[in-house]
Structure 1
Amino acid sequence: MTARDILRQKRPVLHSVAPDAPLIEAARRLRLRDVGALLVLEGEALVGIVSERDVVRAVAESGALALARPVRLEMSTPVETCESGDGVRSLMARMTARRIRHLPVVEDGRVVGVVSIGDVVKSRVDEVQGEAAVLRDALTVRWASSLAA
């Protein structure tokens, strides 16, 4: 399973905000779209990512005044990205090592979607359940054939 496979299953939509938008606008979009992060785009160029964590950190440090500041002051940059062909185990390892929950997926230099830690974990759980089913089936066949012998 790859990042591309995950995106196919979830029908990706790119949720974004401009770098000069006020942080309150990012917070509203996060809530309205029920997502944990927004891409920060200048045109089609990915310049940052702003997450719920970034909003909380800004408000905790500066109070409500932080919400009037531009997103560019609070976004995470440089942005850690992945390729569409990267495997689930690789994605999980990178997200864990970097302590990040969202990875923009890049294909031919363009952002084509975002995978979240939830997407990656669900994908890995599905893989493990599939492997377990194969093992169960193999053991059942072996057990049944040993009874017949």
Structure 2
Amino acid sequence: MRIADVLRTKGSAVATIDPDVPVSELLRSLAEYNIGAIVVASPDGVVGIVSERDVVRHLHEIGADLLSSPVSAIMTTEVFTCSPTDTVDSLTVVMTERRFRHVPVLSDGRLVGIVSIGDVVKSRIGQLEQSQDQLQAYITQG
């Protein structure tokens, strides 16, 4: 199964935020969309990603002043991305080894979706259930 298949099932909508927006606005967006991470984008494309964990870690270090800081102050700038043609299995390995929970999906340098670890696990479970159904049908028919 490919990442494009996952996006077809879950949709390709991606919440993005400008790097100059204050962290307080980031928190509003995370709550409004009920998501755990937002892609930070500028006219040049993806420039970072920021998650709830990033907020918590920096809040612990900086305190309440963090809320007026720009998102660029807490975002991760080295963003691992994947393409729609990548396999779910290969992305599962990378996400597990590198401990990523969210991976933006790029096609020709354009943001076309985002995949979470939950999306990957759900996809893998679906594959396993389909294999089980096929094996059961083979056994009962044979």
RMSD between superposed Cα atoms in Å: 0.9
Pairing of 1:114-129 with structure 2 (within 5 A): 114-129=114-129
Kindly state the Cα deviation for residue 43 of structure 1 after the two structures are TM-superposed: 1.6
Q: Structure 2, unaligned stretches of length 5 or more?
A: none
- Structure with greater Cα Rg: 1
In the aligned structure 2, how far is the partner of 1:114 from the partner of 1:3?
10
Pairing of 1:134-149 with structure 2 (within 5 A): 134-142=134-142
Kindly state the Cα deviation for residue 2 of structure 1 after the two structures are TM-superposed: 1.1
Give the secondary structure class of the aligned counterpart of 2:63. Answer: helix
How many residue pairs are counted as aligned between the two chains?
A: 142
Q: 1:64-121, CA deviations, whole angstroms, 9 ceiling, x for partnerless residues?
A: 1111111111001110000111111111111111101000001111110000000000
Pairing of 1:74-89 with structure 2 (within 5 A): 74-89=74-89
Give the secondary structure class of the aligned counterpart of 2:47. Answer: strand
TM-score (norm. length: structure 1): 0.92
TM-score (norm. length: structure 2): 0.96
1:49 aligned residue: 49
Q: Structure 1, unaligned stretches of length 5 or more?
A: 143-149
Give the secondary structure class of the aligned counterpart of 1:49. Answer: strand
Q: 1:8-62, CA deviations, whole angstroms, 9 ceiling, x for partnerless residues?
A: 1112212011101111111110110011111101125100001111111111111
Pairing of 1:1-149 with structure 2 (within 5 A): 1-142=1-142
